[in-house]
Amino acid sequence: MGLFESFKKGLAKTRDFWAAEWVKTTASHGKFDQDMLDELEELMVRADCGVPASEDVAEYIKNYIKRTGDDSHEGVMSAVKTRIVEILGEKKTLDIEPGKLNIILMVGVNGTGKTTTAGKLALKYKREGKKVIMAAADTFRAAAVNQLKEWGTRTETAVISHEEGSDPASVVFDAVAAAKARNCDVLIVDTAGRLHNKKNLMDELSKINRIIDREAPDANKMSILIIDATTGQNAVLQTEAFSEAVKLDYLGITKLDGSAKGGVAIAVSYLAKVPIVLAGLGEGVEDLMDFDPQAFADALIDT
């Protein structure tokens, strides 16, 4: 399946929601006037794009009509899409440096899809011929370690783990040593779901970072916050909270297939200073794509 088809299939619920709302908006009026602009803004807010981004798009359309005189449905839809792509920003991917150990720290609150995304990423890099290893630094629950080990088996990737309740930083210490000894290209560190108001959890993340800096000072280190699209505006709040507490390099947005709230990618992009690089479009091992702003917008809006 191509990039666009994958996004189209994964975003089917969001796409249907937008299409139905567009029909309602355009059915009640003729040309695009102020009422319709207000409805467009409301539609976007209902579609979880957040108020600031929705206002921005409505303002953009107002100026577009003023500038071009084009108030046709097609013209406006296409302009909405253009602005959405601009908000989503340039396409970026996780920056994996060849010939180096690359360490990817997966962070995020409970249940957003960190472990699943770690497993999917392991497969992606293995297919690219890279040597991959994973660290089970979520030691809170035995089930968490087992879940990562299952992904290890499924993707034939080694998993470094200790028993439940052990120190996550010591798992990372061992994993970095193993990654170096085995000449790995990529080490993926799965961490526990952490809440921004739980200081001990944030401290734990700092400790993991200190271990990485000390044990692998030359590594290409990056952290990715995994957010769950089905949680709507909560995902925006989590992004803000994590950005304040830890150094984030990237965002990954999961479960885009699971609800009509895919618009949250727009809300997050509008506010966040780091790019969305991964899109989770299903539970399967294949259902992970590099986030592509144009494919996302094309899948969302038919023009």
Binding residues vs ligand GTP (CB under 6 A): 108, 110-116, 138, 144, 193, 254-255, 257-258, 280-283, 287
Q: Which does 282 bind (CB under 5 to 8 A by kind): ligand GTP, Mg ion, none?
A: ligand GTP
Which of 90-98, 115-123, 240-248, 278-286 is the region at the interface with Mg ion (rule: CB under 5 A)?
A: 115-123
CB of 109 to ligand GTP, least distance (A): 7
CB of 115 to ligand GTP, least distance (A): 3
Distance CA 122, CA 116 (A): 10
Sheet holding 220-228, edge to edge: 158-160, 132-137, 186-191, 102-107, 220-228, 250-254, 276-280, 288-290
CB of 45 to ligand GTP, least distance (A): 24
Closer by beta carbon to Mg ion, 77 or else 187: 187
- On whether the CB atoms of residues 140 and 110 are closer than 8 A, the answer is no
Note the helical H segments in 69-188.
73-88, 114-127, 142-155, 168-181
Distance CA 254, CA 199 (A): 25
Closer by beta carbon to ligand GTP, 84 or else 278: 278
Closer by beta carbon to Mg ion, 115 or else 230: 115
**Residue 115 binds to Mg ion (criterion: CB under 5 A):** yes
CB atoms within 10 A of CB 211: 21
Closer by beta carbon to ligand GTP, 37 or else 236: 236
Closer by beta carbon to ligand GTP, 80 or else 192: 192
- On whether the CB atoms of residues 66 and 32 are closer than 8 A, the answer is no
Helix (H, G, I), strand (E, B) or coil at 191: strand
From the list 153, 155, 161, the residue with the least C-alpha distance to 122 is 155
Q: Which does 258 bind (CB under 5 to 8 A by kind): Mg ion, ligand GTP, none?
A: ligand GTP
Residue closest to Mg ion (Cβ): 115
Q: Which helix (H) or strand (E) holds 135?
A: strand 132-137
Residues that bind Mg ion in the complex, under the rule CB under 5 A? 114-115
